[in-house]
């Protein structure tokens, strides 16, 4: 499947589909999974709409969960599904009159529905995991309504970093989460004509995720890694630097460009972008002046404690957990 160009010219929908935040680009592992899952095909209504792949797959799940507070969901689901565009070079099986393509048989339709359900569940799981991770790393509540002004700024800085946006946070100063949630998409665009719709869509995902968490029992949306389990068990514990680093390492689809494992079994990791890791740590600890010099000093304090050390073959920006998971 190809992603194609952004936009929604097929449906005429006004929803800002160019926004990567409909399905965050952080879900690269999910996207890779989809690319590899050749045996799982989307419904025929989605074929021929490559640029609508994610919204098309994603939205029905939200629709099923009746997230009526997400207007962009409703707009999309209301849009008529257009027919697949004619192919100039039809595939051999399409030419066979004995294998009519439309309408799909009942069994075929059920298979499509099951496949779609699998994809939807997986995608939503990834969204919730990413929101969960961001909450832990930023030390903010999952529900935007609970954010204070500082939390809002953290979230904005985080979103800037994650999606490589220019500085937009200054356009939303002195706003609480409740203020933010009461704003319309137009209000967002008024503050940032270029990225307001992206932020609005992203905030919508967070609000939807918060609503979903209220509906779903914890075990349904539980992260499957043991480290996050520890974080859930001790949510009020102040996070340590080594915990923070390990949390980043355990989310490679989000943070591999700033920190990654060199040898996970031995606990050896490399900080790829020292400035960014320091900035993230500073955000987590409310220390705007944090830099890598300070962060690395804190790492070196772990040498004496036997938590982190330099690997046997010392390399720049490479460290090793003494007791890897």
Partner DNA sequence: GAGCAGGATCCTC
Partner DNA sequence: GAGGATCCTGCTC
State the minimum distance, in angstroms, from the CB of residue 321 to DNA.
14
Q: Does 306 bind DNA (CB under 7 A)?
A: no
Q: Does 296 bind DNA (CB under 7 A)?
A: yes
Residue 237: Cβ within 10 Å count: 10
Could you tell me which residues are beta bridge partners of residue 209?
none
Q: Does 217 bind DNA (CB under 7 A)?
A: no
Residue 46 φ/ψ, nearest 5 degrees:
-95, -20
Q: Does 260 bind DNA (CB under 7 A)?
A: no
Any residues with CB less than 8 A from the CB of 111 and at least 6 apart, and which?
none
State the minimum distance, in angstroms, from the CB of residue 294 to DNA.
4
Do residues 177 and 148 make contact, with C-beta atoms less than 8 angstroms apart?
Answer: yes
- Count helices and strands (H / E) in the chain: 14, 4
Q: Does 240 bind DNA (CB under 7 A)?
A: yes
Window contacting DNA (CB under 7 A); options: 92-100, 101-109, 148-156, 312-320 = 312-320
Q: Does 313 bind DNA (CB under 7 A)?
A: no
Q: Name which of 22 and 242 has its Cβ closer to DNA.
A: 242
Any residues with CB less than 8 A from the CB of 187 and at least 6 apart, and which?
196
Binding residues for DNA restricted to 272-291, rule: CB under 7 A? 274, 281-282, 285, 287, 289-290
Q: Name which of 213 and 294 has its Cβ closer to DNA.
A: 294
Q: Does 320 bind DNA (CB under 7 A)?
A: no
In which residue are the tokens 């923070």 written?
244
Q: Name which of 217 and 304 has its Cβ closer to DNA.
A: 304
Alpha-carbon span 298 to 238, nearest angstrom: 15
Alpha-carbon span 46 to 34, nearest angstrom: 14
State the minimum distance, in angstroms, from the CB of residue 238 to DNA.
7
The SS3 call for residue 66 is coil
Could you tell me which residues are beta bridge partners of residue 320?
268, 309
State the minimum distance, in angstroms, from the CB of residue 3 to DNA.
33
State the minimum distance, in angstroms, from the CB of residue 262 to DNA.
12
Alpha helices in 98-195 (DSSP H): 106-138, 149-162, 177-182, 185-191
Q: Name which of 172 and 319 has its Cβ closer to DNA.
A: 319
Q: At 151, list the tokens.
A: 């939390």
Residue 309 φ/ψ, nearest 5 degrees:
-145, 170
- Please pick, from the candidates 130, 198, 295, 321, the single residue that binds DNA as defined by CB under 7 A: 295
The site map against DNA for 165-204 (x = CB under 7 A) is: ----------------------------------------
Nearest to 249 by CA among 262, 234, 236, 237: 262
- Please pick, from the candidates 114, 232, 257, 305, the single residue that binds DNA as defined by CB under 7 A: 305
Q: Name which of 234 and 303 has its Cβ closer to DNA.
A: 303
Angle at CA of residue 273, ends 271 and 276, nearest 5°:
115
Residues in the chain, how many? 325
Q: Does 292 bind DNA (CB under 7 A)?
A: yes
State the minimum distance, in angstroms, from the CB of residue 272 to DNA.
10
Parallel, antiparallel, or unpaired for β 268-271 and 308-309? unpaired
- Please pick, from the candidates 75, 298, 320, 324, the single residue that binds DNA as defined by CB under 7 A: 298
Site for DNA, rule CB under 7 A: 238, 240-242, 274, 281-282, 285, 287, 289-290, 292-298, 300-303, 305, 310, 314-318
């Amino acid at each position: 499947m190809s992603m194609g160009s952004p936009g929604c010219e097929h449906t005429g929908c006004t929803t800002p589909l160019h926004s990567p935040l409909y399905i965050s680009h952080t879900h690269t592992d999910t996207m890779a999974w989809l690319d590899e899952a050749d045996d799982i095909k989307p419904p025929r209504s989605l074929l021929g709409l490559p640029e609508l792949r994610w919204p098309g797959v994603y939205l029905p799940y939200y629709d099923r969960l009746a997230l009526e507070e997400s207007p962009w969901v409703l707009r999309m689901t209301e849009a008529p599904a257009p027919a697949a565009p004619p192919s100039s070079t039809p595939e051999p099986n399409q030419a066979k009159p004995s294998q009519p393509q439309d309408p799909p048989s009942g069994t075929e339709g059920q298979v499509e529905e099951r496949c779609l359900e699998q994809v939807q569940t997986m995608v939503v799981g990834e969204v919730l995991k990413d929101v969960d991770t961001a909450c832990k790393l930023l030390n903010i509540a999952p529900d935007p309504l609970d954010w204070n002004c500082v939390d809002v700024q953290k979230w904005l800085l985080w979103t800037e970093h994650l999606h490589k946006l220019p500085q937009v946070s200054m356009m939303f100063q002195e706003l609480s989460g409740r203020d933010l949630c009461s704003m319309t998409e137009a209000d967002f665009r008024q503050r940032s004509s270029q990225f307001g719709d992206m932020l609005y869509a992203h905030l919508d995902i967070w609000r939807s995720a918060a609503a979903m968490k209220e509906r779903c029992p914890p075990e349904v949306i539980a992260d499957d890694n043991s480290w996050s389990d520890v974080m859930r068990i001790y949510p009020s514990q102040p996070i340590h630097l080594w915990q923070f680093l390990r949390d980043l390492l355990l989310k490679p689809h989000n943070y591999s460009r700033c920190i990654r494992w060199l040898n996970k079994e031995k606990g050896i990791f490399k900080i790829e972008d020292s400035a960014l890791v320091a900035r993230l740590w500073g955000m987590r600890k409310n220390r705007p002046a944090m830099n890598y010099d300070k962060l690395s000093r804190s790492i070196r304090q772990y040498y004496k404690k036997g938590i982190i050390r330099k690997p046997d073959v010392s390399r720049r920006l490479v460290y090793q957990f003494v007791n890897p998971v």
